Structure 1
Amino acid sequence: MSVDDEPHIICFKHCSNHVFVLKVPIRCPLCNQPLEQCEKFLPFSLPYPFSNASQSPCSVVLRPAVGDFLSDFHNNTNLHIALTDSQGAIVEFDSPGLLRTRNADRKLWGQCLLILSVPEAWFYHWDSTIQRLIEEQGWQHRIYDDEKLNCYSFVLAFLRLLLYEPIATFIDNAETFSRQLIVPKTTQAAKYITIYRRIKQFGILSEPDLL
């Protein structure tokens, strides 16, 4: 599936079930009744949990290290975290070292979880803090270590330097940061991914109490 396609999951209630599809059918797939004859037929789209990192300025973004969320995410998937600046450029610390990429590859960054974003009033300070981190703390000269100095180390160092009060108590260490900010987002995304994959496999998904 192309990352340019956002698979919006549609849900409606019929036959005492929540029915999930990618396209509204003419007839109920459970009872074959024409849905247009149902007075209370009210389909709605589930909130799409992913964002294009390049269109999410001044944010912390998360993606699988390999592949994308809908196709490749599992509980043991390695995740890669990065920053965006006010222009949507990706600023990251990875095995090649410090990278800053404008016009980022949508295959890599078109389907991300938005972990944190700041109000526009913070954009200048956000950009300035990125420059301070790179120039004053020498991240362009640091050598990546998968365990001790990785993408999470870089993002946490940035957030501590940013002094953004709403997350001040969540950035003491990687465990707290992950528990408070990352796990809630990945848990919600996992629900969407599960529904999406079951629809792709069976054509529809019907559950009485899934929502």
Structure 2
Amino acid sequence: MGITKSVHSSSDQLKGRFLGVVYNYTVHGVQRDEAGWEQSVSVPLLQPGMFGLMDQWDQYLEDFSTTGAWLPHRYEEDHHNCYSYALRFINCVLATEGEERLDRDEFTEKFVIPRTRKASKYITLYRMIEEHGFYVIDPPGPQTGPGPGSGSC
């Protein structure tokens, strides 16, 4: 899991693309990668209309990443890892903005699982089309209520 520091132009923003640097925490400390995360799933945290906060979040991320908490020798695979790095950063920003903090389960349930489910569906669809050249879906189930125009007056 990593956190993306956005570097974008207005044309990229209009096309829905954001280029950037992925901050991640490993046994080597905080890493800043410009490549290698192309297959990752993005979990957007800023709501539309709040993109003005991106530069502020980028500064928070840089400041947060240089604290002693994220030195290489502090890394623990099960407890002090990239997931905890990302979640703690998100909670620092939420606290700064007066919002409620998220625990690990809540963050996973609200943000990570929905995006991974969507990615899984896309991957399944892609593989089926790649293998067969098409994909057939089951029609929607029968309606449980009366159909349109079948009600009494």
Aligned to 1:174: 104
Distance 2:132 2:119 in 1: 20
TM-score calculated relative to the size of structure 1: 0.51
Aligned residues: 124
Matched residues, percent identical?
Answer: 24
Maintained 8 Å contact 2:26/2:72: no
**Is structure 2 residue 29 aligned with structure 1 residue 97?**
yes
Q: Which amino acid aligns with 2:131?
A: Q
Residues in 2 aligned to 1:127 and 1:196: alpha-carbon distance in whole angstroms: 34
User: In structure 2, how many angstroms separate the alpha carbons of the residues matched to 1:197 and 1:144?
Assistant: 37
Whether contact under 8 Å (1:134, 1:140) holds in the other structure is: no
- In structure 1, C-alpha distance between the alignment counterparts of 2:135 and 2:73, rounded to whole Å: 48
The yes-or-no answer on 1:135 pairing with 2:63 is no
Q: TM-score, normalised by structure 2?
A: 0.68
- The Cα shift of 1:89 comes to 1.3
Which residue is 2:44 aligned to? 116
Distance 2:128 2:75 in 1: 38
Q: How far did residue 182 of structure 1 move?
A: 0.6
3-state secondary structure, aligned to 1:93: strand
> Normalized per residue, which structure has more strand?
1
Query: Gaps spanning 5+ residues in structure 1: where?
Result: 1-80
What corresponds to 2:147 in structure 1?
none
Q: Contact 1:89 / 1:100 at 8 angstroms: preserved in 2?
A: yes
SS of residue matched to 2:43: strand
Q: Distance in 2 between matches of 1:113 and 1:141?
A: 25
- 2:23–2:30: 8 Å Cα contact kept in structure 1? yes
Aligned AA (1:91): Y
Does 1 or 2 have the higher relative contact order (CA < 8 Å, sep 6+)?
Answer: 1
Pick one of 128, 136, 139 that aligns with 1:198.
Answer: 128
Structure 1: distance between partners of 2:137 and 2:72: 53
- Alpha-carbon deviation of 1:143? 2.8
Distance in 2 separating the partners of 1:146 and 1:132: 23
Residue 165 of structure 1 and its aligned partner are, at CA, apart by 8.7
Shift of 1:187: 1.0
Could you say what secondary structure the match of 2:66 adopts?
helix
Map of 1:83 onto structure 2: 3
Cα pair distance change 1:142/1:154, threshold 3 Å: farther
Cα distance between partner residues in 2 of 1:164 and 1:121? 18
**Higher helix fraction: Structure 1 or Structure 2?**
2
Q: Which ranges of structure 2 fall in alignment gaps of 5 or more residues?
A: 8-19, 141-153
1:126 shift after superposition: 0.7
Per-residue CA deviation, residues 57-76 of structure 1 (Å, 9 max, x unaligned), is xxxxxxxxxxxxxxxxxxxx
Cα RMSD (Å):
2.5
